[in-house]
């Protein structure tokens, strides 16, 4: 039976990238043996929908609907709750925690990323201090704040913002502890961040900027006691740690694949070992603006890369790098979008626009005649045209660039006929 097992397409990870890869394989190859391994128990779910389950926007089934797959009907073996712990690239085998060893012909590593957990919290095994990354985290948070309570979110990046928003929308008191002088500093400039901070405060979120955590303890009764630099103290029911993530590659440490920043891949998403592919949060894919290989850690990138990797595992040659950075944040109809590289500072021309009411704002950034990034706040109806413009148009004519700058609030006309 050995040769048959060597045909197996093994997918590690049942997230956005892993499932998208399985769909792609099945779309061209209805019969080849496909196995998906998930580190978590239960059915696959959408990580990014978790905040909306907490806020009550969607029912719990809503985090599963988009990830529901007919595994048995499509002859896909699904092994949940048994994370990969080792990889033997010579024997082409993956070892799972249960002791099960799976042989493969082609392997996709799509185990995503893991959230950072600061050393300060080591040994402090207190219920109510957690990340917002897994379904388990979300269930815990939801249960603890069901009847009220205050929450601190440590961090001010994307996931921190989502957590703060979800809890504020749920009517809870939220403190956002932000080390920098503004929230979302990697994707928003000061103007845009200021508008979003104001919108957050209207929802009851207190943004504590230029602030760090000095000490965390647990009070009698279970409340978390947080001492901030500057002496301020908070007592909260839940502390959500959202200080960024790193690629989930721990189990690869004995292979030549492991890298600190992620897994290097070529334009076909193959790693340096033939037959092994990577996609999603841990894949270092070329950025469509800078050409640099980075892990974008975005849902859209994971779906795209998963699909490309799946097709290539099934024998195709599908070029699939060039990922676009895009973050969309929304506070119930008032939102901000950051697309491409709006904060890049070398050889760039920056144009900023604001409306009279001070609610809408735009930053458009060009490198010569190429639009390389934009921040859009408030008036976002033409957002859908930016990805194509930034990703696909290496050079605008002078006339088109002028048109964009003359009518910066709707770029659709500038895009037509390209």
CB of 318 to other proteins, least distance (A): 9
CB of 325 to ligand FAD, least distance (A): 10
Geometric angle at alpha carbon 67, from 61 and 73, rounded to 5°: 110
Stretch in the footprint of other proteins (CB under 8 A) among 72-80, 104-112, 123-131, 300-308: 300-308
Distance of CA 266 to the CA centre of its chain: 21
In the set 9, 35, 39, 177, which binds ligand FAD (CB under 6 A)?
39
Helices (H), 29-134: 50-55, 62-65
Partners of 40 in beta bridges: none
333 makes contact with other proteins (CB under 8 A):
yes
251 makes contact with ligand FAD (CB under 6 A):
yes
Residue 120 DSSP code: G
In the set 8, 24, 35, 38, which binds ligand FAD (CB under 6 A)?
38
Q: Tell me which of ligand FAD, other proteins, none is bound by residue 385, counting a contact when its beta carbon lies within the kind-specific cut-off of 5 to 8 angstroms.
A: other proteins
In the set 83, 247, 373, 378, which binds ligand FAD (CB under 6 A)?
83
For residue 91, count CB atoms less than 10 angstroms from its CB and return exposed for 0-12, middle for 13-18, buried for 19 or more: exposed
3-class secondary structure, 168: helix
Beta-strand ranges (E) seen in 159-259 are: 173-177, 205-208, 213-218, 224-228, 233-236, 238-241, 245-247
> Of residues 51-70, which lie at the interface with other proteins (CB under 8 A)?
52, 57-59, 62-63, 65-68
CB of 306 to ligand FAD, least distance (A): 7
Neighbours of 208 (CB within 10 A): 18
Smallest Cα–Cα separation from 205: which of 163, 235, 241? Answer: 163
299 makes contact with ligand FAD (CB under 6 A):
yes
35 makes contact with other proteins (CB under 8 A):
no
Phi, psi of 375 (to 5 degrees): -120, 130
Stretch in the footprint of ligand FAD (CB under 6 A) among 61-69, 106-114, 269-277, 382-390: 106-114
Of 218 and 322, CB closest to ligand FAD: 322
Helices (H), 2-155: 2-6, 16-28, 50-55, 62-65, 135-144
Q: Which helix (H) or strand (E) holds 338?
A: strand 334-340
24: number of CA atoms within 13 Å, CB side?
Answer: 26
CB of 298 to other proteins, least distance (A): 9
Q: Tell me which of other proteins, ligand FAD, none is bound by residue 214, counting a contact when its beta carbon lies within the kind-specific cut-off of 5 to 8 angstroms.
A: none
Which residues contact other proteins by CB under 8 A?
16, 20, 23, 46, 48-49, 52, 57-59, 62-63, 65-68, 299-300, 303, 307, 324, 326, 328, 330-335, 337, 379-385, 387-388, 412-413, 416-417
Which residues contact ligand FAD by CB under 6 A?
12-18, 37-40, 47-48, 50-51, 83-84, 110-112, 132-133, 159, 162, 248, 251, 280-281, 297-300, 302
């Amino acid at each position: 039976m050995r040769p048959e097992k060597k045909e197996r397409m093994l997918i590690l990870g049942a997230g956005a990238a892993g499932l998208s890869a399985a769909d792609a394989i099945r779309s061209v190859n209805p019969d080849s043996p496909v196995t998906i391994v998930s580190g978590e128990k239960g059915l696959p779910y959408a990580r990014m929908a978790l905040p909306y389950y907490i806020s009550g926007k969607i029912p719990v089934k809503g985090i599963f609907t988009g990830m529901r797959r007919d595994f048995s009907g499509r002859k896909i073996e699904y092994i949940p709750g048994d994370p990969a712990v080792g990889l033997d690239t010579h024997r082409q085998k993956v070892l799972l925690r249960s002791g099960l060893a799976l042989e493969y012909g082609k392997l996709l590593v799509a185990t995503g990323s893991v959230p950072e957990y600061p050393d300060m919290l080591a040994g402090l095994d207190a219920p109510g201090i957690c990340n917002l990354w897994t379904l388990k985290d979300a269930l815990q948070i939801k249960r603890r704040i069901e009847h009220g309570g205050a929450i601190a979110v440590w961090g001010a990046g994307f996931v921190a913002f989502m957590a703060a928003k979800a809890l504020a929308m749920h009517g809870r008191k939220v403190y956002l502890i932000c080390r920098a002088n503004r929230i979302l500093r990697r994707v928003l400039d000061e103007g845009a961040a200021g508008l979003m901070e104001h919108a957050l405060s209207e929802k009851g979120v207190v943004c504590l900027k230029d602030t760090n955590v000095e000490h965390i303890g647990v009070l009698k009764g279970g409340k978390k006691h947080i001492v901030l630099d500057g002496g301020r103290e908070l007592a909260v029911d839940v502390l959500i740690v959202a200080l960024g993530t790193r690629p989930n590659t721990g189990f690869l440490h004995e292979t030549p694949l492991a890298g600190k920043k992620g897994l290097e891949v070529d334009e076909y998403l193959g790693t340096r070992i033939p037959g092994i592919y990577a996609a999603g949060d841990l894949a270092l894919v070329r950025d469509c603006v800078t050409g640099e290989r980075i892990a974008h850690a975005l849902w859209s990138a994971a779906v795209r890369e998963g699909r490309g990797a799946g097709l290539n595992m099934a024998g195709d040659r599908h070029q699939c790098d060039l990922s676009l950075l895009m973050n969309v944040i929304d506070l119930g109809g008032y939102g901000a979008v950051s697309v491409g590289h709006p904060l890049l500072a070398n050889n760039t021309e920056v144009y900023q626009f604001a409306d009279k009411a001070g609610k809408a704002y735009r930053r458009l950034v060009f490198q010569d005649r190429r639009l390389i990034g934009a921040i859009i706040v408030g008036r976002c109806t033409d957002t859908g045209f930016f990805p194509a413009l930034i990703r696909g148009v290496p050079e605008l004519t002078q006339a088109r660039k002028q048109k964009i700058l003359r009518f910066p609030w709707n770029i659709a006309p500038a895009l037509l006929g390209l």
